[in-house]
Structure 1
Amino acid sequence: MPDNCTSVEYDFEHKILPSIYTMVLIIGLGANGWGMKSILQKQKKVGNNVFLLNIGLANFLFLPTLPFLSAYYFMNSNWIFGDAFCKITRFCFNLNLYGSIGFLTCISVDRYLAIVHPMKAKRRITVRNSVVISVMVWLLVSAQSLPDVLFPKNSTNRTEKCHHTTSTEYVENYLKYSVGWTLTGFVMPFLIFLGCYGHVTLVLWRKNTINKVVKQRSLKLMFILILLFSVCYIPYHIFKNLSLYSRVLFSTNKKYPSWDKTVFCAHQISRGLVCLNSVLNPLVYLHVMDIPAQLQQLLQQFRQTFTRLFVSEYGSVPVEQTVTTTISQQ
């Protein structure tokens, strides 16, 4: 157990964290699979759903790596799958994280144009434009994440490790890279998100011509995205960089700062929260695809089918009366 790690923090990393990974794997595969299937079935509206498909792809790049990460932490941070696969696993995590942030930002801009500049949105947001933007996002995210692979993921004397950042020998350079990565991969998209939805909120409140349903759906989507950023992304980036800074101070002074234990514990929790984005992202599918309305339609079809079956068997007897008669006979 590390010197700066209490038993509670140790238990979180080696018991709770892999349990969270297992839960995310099970729920994430089902929710994202259902969401992507719903998107693909709406082929006529595929131009509006390209960004959603890419979020699903980012999730499916990360979810298959979770069994290996769960095994790693369950075995007291003992990586048995090789250094190359360790780097691939961490690379997939970063593609998922920053790809999701990038495409959620694209959805925010899409909603902004549709509400604030509807005529421009009709001319600009086409299937071709969405595909081009998606390719650019993937290239940018890959370029941002690639340097992470070049840093060693194990310690000099402990080759069985698979650090999610890097070893102590390179932590100072990694901190510089991480701060720049945070600014370009998270802070800038977050500011774009705030700018878009801040303006959207003003327009929705000021204009009485906008349909009430459109207002409600836009505000619900904004709430979902704020939830994603607040729960998954903001704590992770803050405590990741603070934890790296603490390690830099230790490598210089051979002593951890007084606030290290608090930051270390918060960073462990934030690592569990950040992977929940693969579970929370399907909420965006549910909203944009209006799946609750689809479920309501399916329920109505079921009721109609159920009613027809009783009518065909009992003639024109109402369903309520038929059910009452059947119960009384029992």
Structure 2
Amino acid sequence: MSDGKQTHLLFSLYENKLLPGIYIFVFFMALGTNGWGLKSLLQKWKKLGNINVFVLNLGLGNFLYLPALPFLAVYYLMEKNWIFGDAFCKITRFCFNLNLYGSIGFLTCISVYRYLAIVHPLRVMGRLTVTHSVAISVMVWLLVSVQSLPDMFYDKTTNKNNTRKCYHTTSRASVEDYLRYSLGWTLTGFLIPLLITLGCYGHVIVVLCRTNTTDKVLKQKCLKLLFILILLFSVCYIPYHVLKNLTLYSRVLLNRNTLEIPWERGVFGAHQISRGLVCLNSALNPLVYLHTVEDISAQVRQLLQQTRQMFNCWCTSNPGRVPVSQNVDEV
């Protein structure tokens, strides 16, 4: 078997088998983690702080995208045959973009608020209220909607080989114009927020390391949150944006009758993998809850402890059903 055919089979296996599995996995995992996180927030609604408003919107953004995942899974299981209509194809892609860029926007807001609270506490103490956070959240949603709305005016569906495609970007005829739009979108929706986030947390870490009197718990909390943000951007956001624009550029070159693009197939395959990774942000975002919402870490530990106690009690009352080790901690 030639290398080209083998590569094509690997891409088909990923698209038609593995990618739908990722979508279904993310759907159930994100449904549970985001539901639990939002429930914890709403239980403490009266104590809702500035940052928790952004965490709440982060969770709501995830719920906007989750209903679309089963339909995308069906699409790829049917070997990329879209049976749900042109309008719903555009709605599905729009919900994905709202979730993606809304998540980036609210993670940036959390970073800026952390920066102000730690580096400039006297300037902002008592001046930033929950009302300000709500107003900023509305502005973020409006900005993300304005950025994402033009995407819906590009061709998203087409008939090819008796199957109906639902494009993640657009059809071949509009790809050159779409590349320009995508580059501007990447700059305003991803690159600028990334630089702001890195700048804020970079300065916070420098300040915390220089100040010997800083609470060690606060320092560890900020370092953990910085690690989570770096993980989100490195795994979910950076590969997706880089490979998406490279794939669009390769399609533009093909439209211009370039004879051969050696890297085109590899970039396309890598972009397909990045599309599976980027949807993981819906499942990874709840990690932010653990480091921004009061008492949630304690709730997790309490839940695990209660589960273990229940299991031990069950084993004690049913000694004949489950072989119990003499030392439970070694099981």
TM-score interval, normalised by the smaller of the two chains: 0.7 to 0.9
Task: Determine whether 1:53 maps to 2:56.
Answer: yes
* 287-296 or 69-78, larger mean C-alpha shift: 287-296
**In structure 2, do the counterparts of structure 1 residues 300 and 4 end up closer, same or farther at CA, with 3 Å as the change threshold?**
closer
Deviations 1:213-236, CA, capped at 9 Å, x for gaps: 000001101100110001000000
User: Contact 2:89–2:157 (CA<8 Å) still a contact in 1?
Assistant: no
* Structure number with larger C-alpha Rg: 1
- Alignment equivalent of 2:211, drawn from 207, 220, 224: 207
1:78 is matched by which residue type in structure 2? Answer: N
Deviations 1:16-52, CA, capped at 9 Å, x for gaps: 1111000000100000000000011112331331101
Task: Determine whether 1:292 maps to 2:297.
Answer: yes
Secondary structure of 1:253's partner? coil
- Residue in structure 2 matched with residue 99 of structure 1 by the alignment: 102
- Residue in structure 2 matched with residue 26 of structure 1 by the alignment: 28
Matches within 5 A, 1:232-271: 232-253=236-257, 255-271=259-275
1:29 is matched by which residue type in structure 2? Answer: L
**In structure 2, do the counterparts of structure 1 residues 120 and 24 end up closer, same or farther at CA, with 3 Å as the change threshold?**
same
1:42 is matched by which residue type in structure 2? Answer: K
User: How far is the alpha carbon of 1:62 from its aligned partner?
Assistant: 0.1
Task: Determine whether 1:62 maps to 2:65.
Answer: yes
In structure 1, distance between residues paired with 2:165 and 2:122: 54
Deviations 1:93-133, CA, capped at 9 Å, x for gaps: 00000000000000000110111011223233311000000
Deviations 1:277-325, CA, capped at 9 Å, x for gaps: 00000000122124222234567789999xxxxxxxxxxxxxxxxxxxx
Figure out how many residues of one structure are paired with residues of the other and give that number.
304
Matches within 5 A, 1:306-325: none
In structure 2, distance between residues paired with 1:4 and 1:177: 34
* 242-251 or 257-266, larger mean C-alpha shift: 257-266
- Residue in structure 2 matched with residue 319 of structure 1 by the alignment: none
Task: Determine whether 1:149 maps to 2:132.
Answer: no
Task: Determine whether 1:16 maps to 2:21.
Answer: no
User: How far is the alpha carbon of 1:15 from its aligned partner?
Assistant: 1.1
User: Contact 2:159–2:165 (CA<8 Å) still a contact in 1?
Assistant: no
User: Contact 2:179–2:249 (CA<8 Å) still a contact in 1?
Assistant: yes
In structure 1, distance between residues paired with 2:143 and 2:222: 28
In structure 2, distance between residues paired with 1:19 and 1:304: 34
2:135 is matched by which residue type in structure 1? Answer: V
**In structure 2, do the counterparts of structure 1 residues 90 and 300 end up closer, same or farther at CA, with 3 Å as the change threshold?**
closer
In structure 1, distance between residues paired with 2:296 and 2:266: 41
Structure 2: runs of 5 or more not aligned? 311-331
In structure 2, distance between residues paired with 1:142 and 1:288: 26
**In structure 2, do the counterparts of structure 1 residues 303 and 65 end up closer, same or farther at CA, with 3 Å as the change threshold?**
closer
- Residue in structure 2 matched with residue 186 of structure 1 by the alignment: 190
- Residue in structure 2 matched with residue 79 of structure 1 by the alignment: 82
Secondary structure of 1:173's partner? helix
User: Contact 2:158–2:165 (CA<8 Å) still a contact in 1?
Assistant: yes
In structure 2, distance between residues paired with 1:300 and 1:76: 45
1:40 is matched by which residue type in structure 2? Answer: L
**In structure 2, do the counterparts of structure 1 residues 23 and 304 end up closer, same or farther at CA, with 3 Å as the change threshold?**
closer
User: Contact 1:47–1:125 (CA<8 Å) still a contact in 2?
Assistant: no
Task: Determine whether 1:220 maps to 2:224.
Answer: yes
In structure 2, distance between residues paired with 1:304 and 1:9: 46
Percent identical pairs in the alignment equals 67
1:22 is matched by which residue type in structure 2? Answer: I
**In structure 2, do the counterparts of structure 1 residues 303 and 76 end up closer, same or farther at CA, with 3 Å as the change threshold?**
closer
Matches within 5 A, 1:113-132: 113-132=116-135
In structure 2, distance between residues paired with 1:280 and 1:300: 23
**RMSD of aligned alpha carbons:** 2.2
User: How far is the alpha carbon of 1:266 from its aligned partner?
Assistant: 0.8
- Residue in structure 2 matched with residue 110 of structure 1 by the alignment: 113
* 8-17 or 55-64, larger mean C-alpha shift: 8-17
- Residue in structure 2 matched with residue 311 of structure 1 by the alignment: none
Secondary structure of 2:164's partner? coil
